[in-house]
């Protein structure tokens, strides 16, 4: 499927880990971008991937129908990173340098077997569509997460104080980068769903923008998880 640009309903169902009948229903209801040729649906892989990113990042937590459900549990975000995976002072000045720098950080910390290969995959993904989601945030990731790139789930958090042009939809420079390290598409989508929840908590994001110590960044993630489990209620 890696090199295919057009998917059948069965292939798409396998790709996003949903029942084939669910994929057909969602396409018929306009919930998935596709085109019906005769009595068969066909889907553009690039369009689907762009749609998944936009849907998971911008939809409400209750509408994440495309988030993968699995018996395998993903650790909380605070356990997917540590102080060695948090760099609050990127020196890169453009998108190309950022991708190279974060790939090297991932390699140095044993998250990937090849910095060069990871950088190439990240670059390939950015050429399809920028992973910047607005509000000075980007979520770089490979187009096809595999065990050849990542053996287990992890997350790298990096920050550029001056910001970098990353072709964001709001044209703002990106300061905060979350590199999602997932060994397959299923885990990647669930990690993306978790990041979606974090980005909706503006106080959490603002604190990550301002923090000066990686240990404090971990505390911020723990606070996010606490708020997720015990949300504040208006009187």
Domain definitions of the chain by residue range: 6-61, 77-229
Structure-block tokens of residue 227 = 């708020």
CATH classification for the domain delimited by 77-229, as one of 3.30.420.130, 3.40.930.10, 1.10.630.10, 1.10.240.10: 3.40.930.10
pLDDT in tens, 144-197: 888 999 989 999 999 999 999 999 989 999 999 999 999 987 788 778 878 888
* 193-228 per-position pLDDT tens digit: 788 888 888 888 899 999 999 999 999 999 888 887
The yes-or-no answer to whether 6-61 and 77-229 have a common fold is no
Classify domain 6-61 by CATH architecture: Orthogonal Bundle (1.10)
Q: Across-strand partners of 154?
A: 181
CA distance 51 to 189: 12
What are φ and ψ of residue 174, in 5° steps? -95, 130
Tokens 């390699």 identify what position? 107
Supply the pTM of this predicted model: 0.77
The string of pLDDT tens digits covering residues 76-94 is 888 899 999 999 999 999 9
């Amino acid at each position: 499927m890696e090199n295919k640009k057009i998917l059948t309903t069965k292939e798409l169902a396998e790709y996003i880990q949903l029942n084939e009948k669910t994929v057909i229903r969602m396409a018929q209801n306009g919930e998935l971008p596709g085109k019906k040729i005769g009595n068969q649906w066909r889907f553009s892989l690039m369009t689907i991937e762009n749609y998944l990113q936009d849907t998971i990042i911008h939809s409400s937590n209750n509408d994440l129908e495309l988030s993968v459900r699995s018996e395998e549990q993903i650790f909380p975000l605070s356990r997917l990173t540590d102080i060695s995976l948090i760099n609050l002072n990127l020196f890169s000045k453009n998108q190309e340098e950022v991708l190279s720098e974060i790939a090297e950080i991932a390699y140095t910390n044993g998250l990937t077997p090849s910095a060069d290969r990871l950088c190439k995959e990240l670059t390939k993904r950015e050429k399809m569509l920028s992973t910047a989601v607005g509000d000075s945030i980007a979520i770089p990731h490979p187009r096809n997460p595999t065990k050849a790139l990542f053996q287990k789930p992890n997350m790298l958090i990096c920050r550029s104080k001056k910001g970098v042009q990353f072709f964001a939809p709001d044209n703002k420079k990106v300061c905060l980068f979350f590199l999602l390290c997932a060994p397959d598409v299923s885990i990647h989508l669930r990690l993306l769903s978790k990041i979606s929840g974090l980005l909706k908590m503006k106080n959490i994001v603002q604190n990550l923008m301002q923090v000066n110590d990686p240990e404090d960044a971990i505390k911020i993630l723990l606070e996010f998880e606490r708020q997720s489990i015990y949300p504040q209620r208006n009187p």
